[in-house]
Amino acid sequence: MKNIQTLFIIPGLFLLAFSADTCKSKKAANGVYKAKLEIKGICSNYTLRLLEGDLDTTVVTANWTDETTGKSYKNVFGLANPCSFPASIQEGNEFYFQIDSSGKKD
């Protein structure tokens, strides 16, 4: 009886692992990223940390230290247009986003 249960459990675990990896791939393919607002500074000087997804390494700073606090951050980036950033997102909030590559300026 135990061997029969194992016979069904192992393929089930494999299927779950494979489907989870497939979902992750679809998410990355759609260009959806997850970030956390680390610093909501003055003059709309925001620092965001990339949590999920692979952004161009020319956009993300691998290691950065805030000179005013001495705190270090990994995989951070700033905003191209802080005016379009939602005011409802506060420091410490995590959120999903997409990059607008249309070239349209708001």
Lowest mean pLDDT among 13-17, 51-55, 97-101: 13-17
pLDDT confidence tier of residue 105, bands split at 50, 70 and 90: low
For 77-103, what is the mean pLDDT?
89
Domain ranges of the chain: 1-30, 32-98
Largest CA distance in the chain: 67
Digit-coded pLDDT (tens) for 46-88: 999 999 998 888 889 999 999 999 999 999 999 988 888 999 9
Q: Output helix, strand, coil percentages for the chain, rounded to the nearest 5.
A: 30, 30, 40
Digit-coded pLDDT (tens) for 17-46: 444 444 444 444 478 999 999 999 888 889
- The segment with the largest mean pLDDT, out of 3-7, 34-38, 78-82, 96-100, is 34-38
Q: Are 62 and 74 contacting, i.e. CB atoms less than 8 angstroms apart?
A: yes
